[in-house]
Structure 1
Amino acid sequence: MTTTVATSPSLHATRPTPAHLLLATMIAFIWGTNFVAIRWGLDYLPPFLFVALRFSVAALACLVLPRPNVSWRLMIAAGVVMLGGQFGFMFLAIHHGMPPGLASVLIQAQVPITILLAALLQRELPTSAQFGAMLLAVVGLVLIALDLNADVSLLAFFLMMGAAICWASGNQMVRAMGQVNAVALISWMSLFAVPPTLLLSLLFEDLPVIPETHGLAVAGFAIFYNAVISTWGGYGAWAWLLARYKAATVAPFALLVPVIGASTSALLLGETFDTARLAGMALLVLGVAGSVFGARRR
């Protein structure tokens, strides 16, 4: 998620301290391992209900955090699309067999899609470096799509692309809000992600059978990790760093997320990657990196 915080440019430090570098790495670790937590939770919870429970817990912060000074319409739309849409599609994709490691890479397609939407909607043309990086990312996506086999369906792939499009669309909405407190914003947006996902759960999902003690503990941990550790802790710490350093200093740490996501999924879930899929994933991540760093020069 693109986060903005109200701060003065003069307050931005140039070199992160070792402790702050460790904090940025820990945030990437939390967001990367969250994909494994999602997979564990989906063993006991249907996807839309899982999303609704995640954001119900995250929205509890609204009780103590003031509503950001943005229009209700824009905040509701961002909550529904960026949170409900993104994670609804993502959880559904993983439910339908998308491996968590591959999901952590495919969701990064939101970066070139965000740049494309900015060009179409705000006339912010990409730099030549960004354009080349976007092509590299597309080649990576095509390689991954062509390599899909029995373990990953084309449906799961397109659901992940739907998640990336929702994230990229939400980025445009958040940008339109201007400088706001990121932690308060994500909490209030969470509030509006609950009704549509809960309604979809009631319409299309059977009520889950209450699992045994172990399953209940796993489901509870997955909800806690997603709502408290990843949403409150991750975005809160990310906003704290953005208030102290330039975005160009902090943002590259997000590139560690797909690397950590794929690595932890391979380690904890036994996910494997053949040569073609690994090459596609590498090209996509390189394309995302080029899109981030390519913005610095025309």
Structure 2
Amino acid sequence: MPIRHRLLAVVVAVLWGANFIAIHASLEVFPPFLCAALRFLLLAVPTVLLVPRPQVPTRWLVGYGIGFGILQFAFLYLAMDVGMPAGLASLVLQSSAPFTVVLGAVLLGERLSPRAAAGVGVAALGMAVVGSERLDAQAGLLPFVLTLLAGLGWAFGNLASRLAAAPRPLHLTMWMTVIPPLPLLLLSLLVEGPEQITAALADSWSVAAIPAWLGLAYTTLLATVLGSGIWTWLMARHPSGTVAPFSMLVPVTGLALAWLVLGETPAPLELLGGVLVVGGVLWASRTVRTKGTPAARHGDIRLEVHEESLEHTQVSPAR
């Protein structure tokens, strides 16, 4: 994976880490399923009118929308609404990375090198350290399980976007937003009810609701369009297990911003866990250079050998 692609993956991690603060602000006004529906509805309408449909099989477009859009955000927004702190949510949601690795191996036949597997293991250990420190004090079992389910939904979305192999990833990202609004609106109507929906929409026109709308704007434009667009572009060019570990950098941003903005003070063990997460991601993506030999050098140009033997192979969609 080239250095510039790793830097793009880090940018996405920062955008998505700040996204949890934006979601927290939006949930102060909107109930969770309605909030998730609005997030995608604001993009779906201009997408249908202005963006060409991506040239990908419909099944992978729908699968991406269901996994990444519906399952991830329905469970995540509900988890945060029932008590999952923003910082802890940013951590637990990164269960999507090991979920993606396992699903990629089971469903797509992708392999990980020992170094990559060890890196993912270290990062997962860091996630467990932070989670164990905060779980008992700030969130119960239900919010934790809901966030894990959100991570599983994200993992399925990762695989669908990779199998889609869109020639224009941003078009795939935009058209993914067409899938979630109606199912989420129906879920909101059934679970939250017309009265709660009406009350939330009425309150949203007050001055106090400005942070909620700003949060929606952030999740819509920066987290979804920019962040997911870059992520989809990376997933189309590299194996799932190579890209997915970078999502473990998200809780570093999420925990830091939750501390600064929401007063969620990280404990020493949480900081240790964050170090393990970063170290694991860097180790999993580390490139091994060959020593300078006539076969490996030509002038000042050195060849780089990645231990992930399948890093640049293409996966053909299952039929």
Specify the alignment match of 1:217 in structure 2.
Answer: 210
Is the Cα contact below 8 Å between 1:105 and 1:285 reproduced in 2? no
Is 1:196 the counterpart of 2:183? The answer is yes
- Partner of 2:42 in structure 1? 57
My pick for the range that moved more, 203-212 or 111-120, is 203-212
- Kindly state the Cα deviation for residue 130 of structure 1 after the two structures are TM-superposed: 2.2
What root-mean-square deviation, in Å, do the aligned CA atoms of Structure 1 and Structure 2 show? 3.3
Which residues of 2 match residues 145-156 of structure 1 at below 5 A? 145-147=131-133, 148-156=135-143
Q: Tell which structure's C-alpha radius of gyration is larger.
A: 2
Change (3 A) 1:289 1:168: farther
Identity percentage over the alignment? 36
1:181 to 160, 168, 173: 168
Alignment correspondent of 1:80: 66
1:270 Cα offset (Å) = 0.3
Is this contact kept in 1: 2:130–2:273, CA < 8 A? Answer: yes
Q: How does 1:268-287 map to 2 (within 5 A)?
A: 268-287=261-280
Which of 149, 155, 163 lines up with 2:150 in the alignment? 163
* Residues paired across the two proteins, number: 280
1:7 corresponds in structure 2 to none
Q: Which of 1 and 2 has higher RCO (CA within 8 Å, sep 6+)?
A: 1
Contact 1:105 1:284 in 2 (8 A): no
Q: Which amino acid aligns with 1:188?
A: W
Q: Distance in 1 between matches of 2:130 and 2:244?
A: 25
- CA deviation map 1:81-110 (0-9, x unaligned): 211111111111111222212222222222
Match of 1:260 among 227, 232, 253: 253
Distance 1:80 1:259, change over 3 A: same
Q: CA deviation at 1:276?
A: 3.4
Distance in structure 2 (CA, Å) of the matches to 1:198 and 1:110:
25
Distance 1:90 1:127, change over 3 A: same
Report deviation, 1:64.
Answer: 1.0
Match for 1:234: what amino acid? G
Assess if the C-alpha contact under 8 Å between 2:68 and 2:157 holds in 1: yes
Per-residue deviation at 1:111?
Answer: 1.7
Question: SS of 2:139's equivalent?
Answer: coil
Q: Deviations over 1:18-60 (max 9, x none)?
A: xxx7x87765443221110100111111111111000001212
Which ranges in structure 1 are unaligned for 5 or more consecutive residues? 1-11
- Contact 1:109-1:284 within 8 A present in 2 as well: no
Distance 1:15 1:223, change over 3 A: closer
- Measure how far apart 1:253 and its partner are: 7.3
Deviation at 1:257, TM superposition (A): 3.3
Shift of 1:292: 3.6
Are residue 105 (structure 1) and residue 88 (structure 2) matched?
Answer: no
The one-letter code sitting in structure 2 at the alignment partner of 1:100 is A
Structure 2 portions without partners, runs of 5+: 289-305, 309-319
Given candidates 103, 116, 120, the residue that maps to 1:134 is 120
- Determine the structure 2 residue equivalent to 1:230: 223
Measure how far apart 1:281 and its partner are: 4.2
